[in-house]
A = this chain, B = another copy of it.
Amino acid sequence: MSGSGPSPAYTLSIESVERICAERGVRFTALRRLALEALLEFNGPVGAYDLLRALERKLGKSVGPPTAYRALEFLQEHGFVTRIETRNAFVPSSHPDDPGVGAFFLCNHCGATFEVDLPGLEAEFARRAETFGFRVGRRVVELQGICADCQHTAAAVEGQGQAAKAMTTKGSRG
């Protein structure tokens, strides 16, 4: 589902994360690696509890929510993973080194996720923030709608009703 977008699927590799963690002097533990592997294996945003179950499969034993959330927290802190707020879910980041804008286009119909660099966006934010002394930290930009593929299939298969609905609802995760 997270395929044919403007940026290639996910450019993040376990090896690059390993290297970055070494450089930063932080521990890329077995659990954190497994969590990232699991996220990379899914093709799209993954809920914390889906990740949990993936970890359980990989480990062959049950794990509690904090285990998944802690791994996610670490991966987010270091920019390897981004939380998709409108989905309560997580995706590997395309640009782990660059703390840039990271705008996400999210298809409400098929769940596809496209991370896109929007140049000029950051400047616009900063410029506007400056006018009232706001200091910007985390930026969340999520644009929901219908991807090209689904516009075609939806129009052909089921008329515009479903697609129109998908324009405004949170949509399915799949």
A124 to B86 alpha-carbon distance, docked (Å):
21
Residues of B within 8 A of A147 (CB): 132-134
A-B CB contact pairs (8 Å), 23 listed? A5-B132, A6-B128, A6-B131, A103-B125, A114-B134, A118-B128, A121-B121, A133-B147, A134-B143, A134-B147, A135-B145, A135-B167, A136-B143, A136-B145, A137-B146, A137-B166, A137-B168, A138-B145, A139-B142, A139-B143, A140-B141, A140-B142, A141-B141
- A67 near B: Cβ within 8 Å? no
Contact B135 A146 (CB under 8 A): yes
Residues of B within 8 A of A108 (CB): 137
Contact B140 A144 (CB under 8 A): yes
Contact B85 A140 (CB under 8 A): yes
Q: Give this chain's copy count.
A: 2
Q: How large is the interface on A (under 10, 10 to 19, 20 to 34, 35 or more residues)?
A: 35 or more
- A116 near B: Cβ within 8 Å? yes
- A120 near B: Cβ within 8 Å? yes
